[in-house]
Structure 1
Amino acid sequence: MPESPVSPTMMDKNLSFSIPAKHCRGRAVRLGPLLDNILSAHNYPAQIKSLLVEAVCLTSLLGALLKEEDAQLTLQAQTENGVVSLLACDYKDGDVRGYVQFDTERFINQALDPSLMALFGKGYLAITFDHPEPRGRSQGIVPLEGSSLSDAVQNYFMQSEQIPTVIRVAMTTDGDRTIAGGLLVQHLPDGEDGKERLHVRMNHPEWEHVEVMSSSVQAEELIDATLPLEDLLWRLFSESDEVRVLSGKPLVKGCRCNEDHIRDVIARFPKQDKEDMVDEDGTISIDCAFCSKKFTISSASLNN
């Protein structure tokens, strides 16, 4: 069977949508080159790659909920003595990045398709929204539970935010090309984003209908690079309700490390701490976990 053509205009984008009659909002994403760029910075085994792809897709969905310029979304999964010790992804103005820290020796002994519990053990999921002032930072932390990261994020909204939520993520790898798609749908019974959600009911009749429709999405639809996201949304919801769709920001790999930023971070440390960072050759070496770039800064060039 010939390979399906992939339109660049259908990849690395998100859509915002609402279903006014049901007081629901949602986000949909489909990722391609962005994932390849992020994965190319690391030599991860296949199972860790899949974990990071799911995390990047979820981060893109959650980041698309932000409305303000310069707002940032950070997703972190951290464990107590897990094979994976830390997974971190963030989103800012359409820039997405992520990495995984794991114990290579212990990972080798894992099953070919390790469960979330096998990789993380006892852990927690932290989702942080950094908004410009005056809103500032808000963070929710919940146990890392479920059969997948998507389940854990869905549980976060149920437990921490008390927002009825459906999240679906799918991915596929064909040679060096990776494609992932995701759908997030939420019920806000007051009918507007940003207001306090009073009397939230998980079994609200409006939500029950949308939950069934959202959950019917197929993995093949999410990762079909020839199916526009707009068509997918109308296929899911428009038979009975009006669907309002707005284009979101293009998504790109966006690690924010550079020499000026590194110098700024180092400058914040006390003088003694900076002296302790200096190697025998008089330089400070910094590795970026997100993009694997290495920076070497001469201590003599720093303002002590």
Structure 2
Amino acid sequence: MAFNLEDFGVTPVGMDAVRPFAVEGLDVRGRAVALGPVVGDILARHAYPKPVSRLLAEAIVLTSLLGTSLKFEGRFTLQTQTDGPVSMLVVDFSSPDAIRACATFDADKLAALPKDQVTPENLLGRGHLAMTIDQGKHMNRYQGLVELDGISMEEVARRYFARSEQIPTEVRLAVGELFTRQEGDGPAQTWIAGGVLIQFLPDAPERMKQPDLDPGDAPEGTVLHSLDEDDAWVEAKTLVETVKDVELTDPEVGVERLLFRLFHERGVRLFEPQPIADKCSCSREKVEGILTTFSDEERANMIVDGKISVTCEFCSTRYEFDPE
């Protein structure tokens, strides 16, 4: 569909920004994001194997979509702990715009996976994913857990909202590689990622009712509870399910053009974009403060070549201290 967004009074935000939106005709609210330099810089800094980079990029997209929904100064952290080749993912978002991320993986387990089984589900394995909201001093922290049993990062979001918030939710995440030509050096590779999340939020709460979750251990022959979904939600969810990976990772498409393609018949309202920045909260002062909590003996065991060196797992910044 060829059209100019400017004709509709919309200025594309480009990369590294979350665009909130609403489709009032379907009682749907959502957020869409396209990440370029942010996700590319984070992954380049760590130089993970490609499957690990892809999985971490998905987690960064999901955290961007969820973290920017905070209505207060705080932090949103997504963390996995599993028995898979990628045993831990940590993505930390600090409002209003700072995100950082890292992963822990087992190179031997990763190499042992057959190529046709290198999927996000198999990389994660079994364990749990925690989503933590920290509202700052003097406020309670909130944490929701999702069991990981061979599910995708998209399914994680669906289960989280179904169980913790009882909000019908649909999400699409995609990660791609972007190749650019550099004179004399050949093509250069970087990462690009995107996602869209919608939620059904009608004025009448009874319209949000969902079927009970499959208990998993019901006796054979048990008829599970079924419930017809609201027509508006079925339409919205079906539209989002048509989104292709390339639409989420093509810089020429953009989130505004994608949202227009999905919802122009119903009408989509776009809200002010929320930028995302590659920022780490570490500092020399914070690291020094942590070191002072160790005993003299413990600090003595940290000395290598006459110095105590600490490297931030998120941004790879190296801090060196005189043992004295």
TM-score (norm 2): 0.79
Are 1:159 and 2:163 counterparts? yes
Are 1:258 and 2:260 counterparts? no
Within the candidate set 100, 103, 112, 2:103 is matched to 100
Q: Against the structure 1 CA distance between its residues 62 and 145, is the aligned structure 2 distance closer, same or farther, given a 3 Å change threshold?
A: farther
Report the Cα distance in structure 2 between the residues aligned to 1:298 and 1:52, rounded to whole angstroms: 35
> What letter matches 1:186 in structure 2?
Q
Structure (1 or 2) with the larger CA radius of gyration = 2
Q: Which runs of 5+ in 2 are unaligned?
A: 1-11, 180-188, 211-228
Aligned to 2:69: 65
CA displacement 1:82-125 (0-9 Å, x = unmatched) = 32211111111211111110111222111225134432322111
- Shift of residue 131, structure 1, vs aligned partner: 2.1
Within the candidate set 193, 199, 202, 1:186 is matched to 199
Report the Cα distance in structure 2 between the residues aligned to 1:186 and 1:153, rounded to whole angstroms: 11
Confirm or deny: 8 A CA contact 2:194 2:248 kept in the other structure: yes
Q: Against the structure 1 CA distance between its residues 273 and 162, is the aligned structure 2 distance closer, same or farther, given a 3 Å change threshold?
A: farther
Aligned to 2:135: 131
Cα root mean square deviation, aligned: 2.5
Report the Cα distance in structure 1 between the residues aligned to 2:156 and 2:302, rounded to whole angstroms: 41
- Shift of residue 274, structure 1, vs aligned partner: 5.6
CA displacement 1:193-233 (0-9 Å, x = unmatched) = xxxx6773131233222112222222222122112322221
**1:10 alignment partner, SS class:** coil
CA displacement 1:18-72 (0-9 Å, x = unmatched) = 2234332101000111111101111211111111111111111111211223x21
Aligned to 2:313: 289
Report the Cα distance in structure 2 between the residues aligned to 1:277 and 1:247, rounded to whole angstroms: 51
- Shift of residue 141, structure 1, vs aligned partner: 0.4
Are 1:10 and 2:14 counterparts? yes
Confirm or deny: 8 A CA contact 2:76 2:92 kept in the other structure: yes
Report the Cα distance in structure 1 between the residues aligned to 2:163 and 2:206, rounded to whole angstroms: 15
Aligned to 2:112: 109
Size of the aligned set, in residue pairs, is: 285
CA displacement 1:246-303 (0-9 Å, x = unmatched) = 1232212111112112123334x25467646642656432221112222122242xxx
Aligned pairs for 1:107-256 (under 5 A) are: 107-113=110-116, 114-132=118-136, 136-175=140-179, 176-190=189-203, 200-202=208-210, 203-240=229-266, 242-256=267-281
Are 1:36 and 2:40 counterparts? yes
> What letter matches 2:275 in structure 1?
P
Q: Against the structure 1 CA distance between its residues 162 and 276, is the aligned structure 2 distance closer, same or farther, given a 3 Å change threshold?
A: farther
Report the Cα distance in structure 2 between the residues aligned to 1:188 and 1:200, rounded to whole angstroms: 7
**2:237 alignment partner, SS class:** helix
Q: Against the structure 1 CA distance between its residues 183 and 286, is the aligned structure 2 distance closer, same or farther, given a 3 Å change threshold?
A: same
> What letter matches 1:91 in structure 2?
F
Aligned to 1:89: 91
Report the Cα distance in structure 2 between the residues aligned to 1:133 and 1:248, rounded to whole angstroms: 28
Aligned to 2:221: none
> What letter matches 1:256 in structure 2?
S
Q: Which runs of 5+ in 1 are unaligned?
A: 1-7, 192-196
Aligned-residue sequence identity (percent) comes to 36
TM-score (norm 1): 0.84
Q: Against the structure 1 CA distance between its residues 135 and 163, is the aligned structure 2 distance closer, same or farther, given a 3 Å change threshold?
A: farther
